[in-house]
């Protein structure tokens, strides 16, 4: 166990850089230094606190990986390692592939940490405004709106 320090971490500025950097110790006591990628001191402090919280919750590696991992890469990894039989039924895997196809068109190039609740909400609203595409022997035809088939309430007599 590393010996206790007076300060958990520090935010500092390098001479050659306009952005703030942070220095902290990981769970094993190894000193880590990395850019906060911001010129705002308050934002840099916030990112340092997030790093320290992730370290204390033992999820630092997952958080750091999520900062560089795109949604498309994560979706591919999920489909390959967690969606296929015998972990999931074949039909479930097909449904997951279809969902990943639609989500990749919206979020595929985005980093996981850049996807926000607002972005997801915008995607869902746009998706509900699209028409259902029905494949048949005559080709693809458009059906009713997604939003019309979801959320209808029926009266109980």
Q: What is the pLDDT of residue 110?
A: 92
Find, among 73, 131, 135, 133, the residue nearest to 103 by Cα.
73
Averaged pLDDT of the chain: 84
**Region 21-49 average pLDDT:** 91
Task: Give me the pLDDT at residue 138, please.
Answer: 86
Answer for the pair 137, 155: CB distance below 8 angstroms, yes or no. no
What does the pLDDT look like over 92-120, one tens digit per residue?
999 999 999 999 999 999 988 788 999 99
- pLDDT class for 154, splitting at 50, 70, 90? very low
Q: What are the sequence ranges of the domains in the chain?
A: 9-68, 71-130
- Stretch 140-154: mean pLDDT: 63
CA proximity to 80, closest of 96, 91, 65: 96
The percentage of the chain sitting over the pLDDT mark of 70, rounded to a whole number, equals: 87
Which range, 68-72, 92-96, 108-112, 128-132, has the best average confidence (pLDDT)? 92-96
Which residues, including other chains, have CB under 8 Å from residue 36's CB and lie 6 or more apart? 11, 19, 20, 21, 22, 43, 44, 47, 48
């Amino acid at each position: 166990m590393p010996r206790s320090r007076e300060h958990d971490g520090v935010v500092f500025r390098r001479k050659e850089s306009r952005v703030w950097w942070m220095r902290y110790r990981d769970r094993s006591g190894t000193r880590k230094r990395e850019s906060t990628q911001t010129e705002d001191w308050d934002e840099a402090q916030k990112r340092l606190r997030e790093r320290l919280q992730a370290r204390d919750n033992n999820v630092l590696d997952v958080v750091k990986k999520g900062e560089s991992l795109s949604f498309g890469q994560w979706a591919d990894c999920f489909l390959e390692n967690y969606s296929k039989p015998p972990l999931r039924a074949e039909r479930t895997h097909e449904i997951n592939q279809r969902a990943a196809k639609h989500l990749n068109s919206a979020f595929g190039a985005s980093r996981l940490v850049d996807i926000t609740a607002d972005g997801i909400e915008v995607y869902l609203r746009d998706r509900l405004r699209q028409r259902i595409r029905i494949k048949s022997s005559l080709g693809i035809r458009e059906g009713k709106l997604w939003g019309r088939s979801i959320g209808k309430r029926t009266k109980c007599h």
